[in-house]
Amino acid sequence: MRLLVKGRIGSLTGELHVPVSKYHAHRALILASLAPGTTRIQGLSDAGHVQHTIQALRQLGTEIQVGDDGDTLLVTGGQYRPVRERVSVGSSGTTLYFLTPLVALAAAPVTIVGQKYFRRRPIRPLLGALEGLGVRLDAPTGTPPISVAPRVPTGGRVRIPGTLSQWISGLLLLAPFATGPSLIEVTGPFNERSYVGLTIAMMRRFGLVVETGPDGRTFAVEPNQRPHPAVIELPPDIGSAAFGLAASALRPSNVLFRGLSAVGAAETDHPEADLLDILTGMGLPLRRDPGTGFVRVQHDGLRLRPVSVDCRSVPDMLPVLTVLASQADGTSTLDSVDHVRLKESDRVAAMLQLNQMGARLDLHGDQLRCHGVSGLTAAELSSFNDHRVLMALAVAASQAEGESRLTYPNAYRISYPRFVDEMNAIGMSMSVESGRKPDRRRDAQQDVIDPGRIATEPLDALVGRWARRRPDDPAVVEAASPGRAERCLTWRELDQRADAAASMLLELGVEPGEPVAWQLPNWTESVVLTIATLRIGAVCCPLMPIFRERELRYMLGRARARVVVVPEHHRGRDHARELAALLTGPEAPAVRHVLVVAGDGPLPEGGGARWHRFDEALARQRPDRGVLDARRPAPDMLAQLLFTSGTTGEPKGVLHRMETLTRAAAMAARHLGLTRSDRVFVPSPLAHQTGFLYGMWLALTLGVPHILQPVWDGPAALATLRRWHGTFVQAATPFLVDLVAAVESTGRPPADLRIFVATGAAVPRALAERATRVLDAAVCGAWGTTETCLGTLGAPGDEPASVWGTDGRALAGVGIRVTDDAGAALGPGQEGVFEVVSDCLFAGYLDHPDWTAAAMTSDGWYRSGDLAVIDESGFVRITGRVKDVINRGGEKIPVAEIEQLLHAHPSIADVAIVAMPDERLGERACAYVVRTGDIDFAEVQHFLDEQKVAKQYWPERLEIIDELPRNPVGKVQKFLLREWASR
């Protein structure tokens, strides 16, 4: 679904009915629930978040009724007597932060729960402060669910970061009920002071007193206070009125804002009241209508003046201010915007989408600069399910030339349910249209599979099941490529060909547990061979098509594979002849049979191996079901031998069991919400774990089609995605870059794509924002290795601020930690060595138990060799490799952070930073840059200076190159760059 906004409307006329303030409503309701007696709250709020507060209070036993006039709430307060143990706060952060402290006053234990989103919402600082006030609680993850024991707080002296005002307000609401005095101190930047001021003022209305220190950062609260009922009249909500005010500023208007009487901040206690003064400063005429007493905006068109705003005072107004500033006559500056990036979405990044409409916005550290332009053009935009972003972009779109479409069209209901109706009532044109991407998770029959259960079933048996249930449905599609036409196998055909290939392998003497090797592109034969090999209890050993004689000699020798499958020709290489030469050369692997796929030339000879045509050998088979069933594997048998394609060192043969791979695929499917209605697009090589496990194996486990792309090409991939309705893809970042470029050049996004998981390296934040918008799909980061499978992964419902630029969060059943050099676990925000534990770890390295032992800690965790930081919400940011650390005279340079910053430069397409030797400091940083425009060393320094980066962290050498060296799956080969930098 989309919100369709038609731009370049005429004059705006009519009335807007401004709803009551949700900020006042939350606080009045919660304080009324604590005051013995009946409180009257005049004015009903239909904001979704306020409804969550009402529902949660009712679950705590509070009686809330609508008065006879239909516009008053009657709240009967007193001690909470929960009607259920688990109390849901829905999707309201305010309800979460206010009620978590207060349920300590309940007569019984309470567990606070909410939407899955809150399992990633940081609340640890608040929980720590509550424990300091004597609250007994249990929250192992630092996020909901949070269990709170019934106990009157003792009071005490606590400190709380000023990051979120709701943390501070939650403590202030609880402190008067303590048995001893409380002193609450705010540390660090203090954002949203006006919101805390509103809490204190509302508490005073109920007889609760808070003394504010002279610096405004300390709050003293006396104990044993008792609230009394009150009569509260809710004022109009300036935050909702803001969107109508902005719309009326951009078009000739005569609009009455019914309910809003204040024309300046001094006339109201609303926490966003400063917006009124800001709008007046920009030239918007706010006048009190003499006939009604409400604000009227009337003008025949105006040019707004630029403005400078500190967003700490009105953080929620950044989206609408950005829209207004984009049309102002000059450059506006919005300062202190970092905090705004922690809201429902990264609102700064979200509003940078205005640049796609012709605006000129640029981000400089903690400041957003908006250079006014004369007009905007329509665009496809993402709201990131953020109500304020959606409404602000809709207002911008109403000023643009053409029709714009915005995702998550119903997000406005969270705070302003009548937004669309009100905007249309004054002459704008907004409507919700049906989209093309149905939420397949809504189908009750499409439940996500259970990893533990499905891991007990052999993969080949699952394929047989899908063949019986859906014999004529497509199972695997191979896109057309040079020399090969498009192919499609149904589940019946795939199962039958796998039986024939299994019989063929038995005929060639393949034993249980023996590797079968193949070096094939993403062709259907790879899928057939995988199932066939598993069906007879053998081990799959796919090899990358780019490997040449040196790598093949090593890997085939290590694997001791007696059967090898290769193409006759592929992309200009004669694979069959190359293998023949290898088998007749020195130190030749002991290969006994070679099967050649495609081609019609004479078969080579070499090394005593027998050569066969794959298709001919397959056609001869008459599978014996009894023989095949006798070889059927158990789930715990070895199933895969995959040689690592790391950036340094000797390739390692990683062994995995079948149940491990199936469990890993199912865990990813559950985490992402994939179901049997999805279609998996596989551009990553099937000889790499990304393509093999999170492409082919994932699709076979789910029983859904997978679409193979044999030769990578952005436009061709886009066409394949569109033709076969691909919904999910996991691939390295370069694949994402090329696909985005293809969409931008054609203007035709892949209509059904829902999720792109980018692996190999964290997606640069700027690229993630761009890709999310261009593809109209969730772009999720991930971290994994051949040894561990995926350990961390983003998800479509995660906040963009958390996902963009990170490697996701731990999958259910995966443990993650960072440790120091001594192996001690470190806390949130500290950099250390990244370690993982799960049921998806490898079985060991082939022939190297010493390597296996060295990779594991004494308590069973896998040492990744990566450096990482885990934040309060559990999101991981890989900061580099242990061996990639740049130590500049004892100062460690945050390489990943500087790379992320440089990726945002408009003239830089790609960048990698490595150490270069230095006699005095030991190491200095060298930046290798792939450029898209003019850039030199001085410009790099100037750019980092503007970002306020410490000079010690700046690269001290710049090298311009055509492309970064990468391994077959897109990882930058920094060892090569270090070699180049040392010359």
The model's pLDDT over 51-73, given as tens digits with 9 standing for 90+, comes to 889 999 999 999 999 888 888 99
Alpha-carbon distance of 567 to 965, in angstroms, equals 27
Alpha-carbon distance of 600 to 740, in angstroms, equals 38
Whether 243 contacts 320, CB under 8 Å: yes
Residue whose token pair is 């630092």: 142
Residue 229 scores a pLDDT above 50 = yes
Q: Are strands 487-490 and 515-518 parallel, antiparallel or unpaired?
A: unpaired
**pLDDT score for 442:** 39
Which two tokens mark 908? 């830089």
Residue 445 burial (C-beta neighbours within 10 Å; 0-12, 13-18, 19+)? exposed
Query: What does the DSSP 8-state code read for residue 693?
Result: I
Q: Identify which of 793, 705, 805 has the alpha carbon closest to the alpha carbon of residue 755.
A: 793
435 falls in which pLDDT band (50, 70, 90)? very low
Angle between helix 274-282 and 318-326 (nearest 10): 0
279 falls in which pLDDT band (50, 70, 90)? very high
Q: What is the CATH number of domain 885-981?
A: 3.30.300.30
Alpha-carbon distance of 168 to 185, in angstroms, equals 9
434 falls in which pLDDT band (50, 70, 90)? low
Residue whose token pair is 């930058």: 972
Q: Identify which of 410, 404, 405 has the alpha carbon closest to the alpha carbon of residue 385.
A: 410
Mean pLDDT score across all residues of the chain: 89
Alpha-carbon distance of 683 to 691, in angstroms, equals 7
Alpha-carbon distance of 60 to 76, in angstroms, equals 12
145 upstream amide cis, omega within 30 of 0: yes
State the Cα angle at 841 between 700 and 633, rounded to 5°: 50
800-803 contact pairs (CB < 8 A, 24+): 800/345, 800/346, 800/349, 800/350, 800/384, 800/768, 800/769, 800/772, 801/341, 801/342, 801/343, 801/345, 801/346, 801/349, 802/120, 802/871, 802/873, 802/875, 803/768, 803/779, 803/875
968 falls in which pLDDT band (50, 70, 90)? low
Say whether domain 2-16+236-433 belongs to CATH 3.65.10.10. yes
DSSP codes joined into one string, 226-247: -----EEEPPB-HHHHHHHHHH
Q: Do domains 2-16+236-433 and 22-233 have the same CATH topology?
A: yes
**pLDDT score for 648:** 44
| Residue 577 φ/ψ region, left for φ over 0, alpha for ψ in the -120 to 50 degree band, beta for the rest | alpha
Residue 957 scores a pLDDT above 70 = yes
The residue type of 494 is L
Backbone angles phi, psi at 333, to 5 degrees: -125, 130
966 falls in which pLDDT band (50, 70, 90)? confident
Residue 804 scores a pLDDT above 80 = no
Residue in 71, 215, 300, 316 annotated catalytic = 316
Span 779-803, average pLDDT = 88
Alpha-carbon distance of 612 to 17, in angstroms, equals 79
632 falls in which pLDDT band (50, 70, 90)? confident
How far is C-alpha 694 from the chain's CA centre?
17
**pLDDT score for 441:** 40
Q: Identify which of 381, 371, 309 has the alpha carbon closest to the alpha carbon of residue 340.
A: 309
Query: What does the DSSP 8-state code read for residue 486?
Result: -
Domain-wise residue ranges, the chain:
2-16+236-433, 22-233, 885-981
Span 938-958, average pLDDT = 86
Whether 20 contacts 234, CB under 8 Å: yes
Q: Are strands 37-42 and 72-77 parallel, antiparallel or unpaired?
A: antiparallel
Whether 492 contacts 699, CB under 8 Å: no
Residue 889 scores a pLDDT above 90 = no
**pLDDT score for 118:** 59
862 falls in which pLDDT band (50, 70, 90)? very high
**Strands of 491-562, DSSP E:** 515-518, 539-542
3 state SS for 433-457: ECCCCCCHHHCHHHCCCCHHHHCCC
Binding-site residue positions for phosphoenolpyruvate? 22, 93, 121, 166, 347, 388
**pLDDT score for 203:** 97
Alpha-carbon distance of 920 to 20, in angstroms, equals 65
The residue with greater pLDDT, 119 or 385, is 385
CATH topology of domain 22-233: UDP-n-acetylglucosamine1-carboxyvinyl-transferase; Chain (3.65.10)
Predicted confidence (pLDDT) per residue in 517-574, tens digit: 999 999 999 999 999 999 999 999 999 998 888 788 889 999 999 999 999 998 888 9
Alpha-carbon distance of 693 to 770, in angstroms, equals 27
Span 338-357, average pLDDT = 81
How far is C-alpha 958 from the chain's CA centre?
32
**pLDDT score for 445:** 38
| pTM, two decimal places | 0.57
Question: Most confidently modeled of 91-105, 433-447, 790-804?
Answer: 91-105
Which two tokens mark 88? 């849901």
Binding-site residue positions? 22, 27, 93, 121, 165-166, 316, 343, 347, 388
647 falls in which pLDDT band (50, 70, 90)? very low
Which two tokens mark 51? 């409804």
144 upstream amide cis, omega within 30 of 0: no
79 falls in which pLDDT band (50, 70, 90)? very high
Alpha-carbon distance of 530 to 774, in angstroms, equals 35
**Percent of the chain scored above 90 by pLDDT?**
63
DSSP codes joined into one string, 748-795: ---TT--EEEEESSPPPHHHHHHHHHHHTSEEEEEEEETTTEEEEE--
The residue with greater pLDDT, 858 or 921, is 858
Span 357-362, average pLDDT = 92
Query: What does the DSSP 8-state code read for residue 106?
Result: S
Q: Is 71 a catalytic residue?
A: no
Alpha-carbon distance of 975 to 839, in angstroms, equals 32
| Residue 280 φ/ψ region, left for φ over 0, alpha for ψ in the -120 to 50 degree band, beta for the rest | alpha
342 falls in which pLDDT band (50, 70, 90)? low
952 falls in which pLDDT band (50, 70, 90)? confident
The residue with greater pLDDT, 449 or 219, is 219
**pLDDT score for 122:** 60
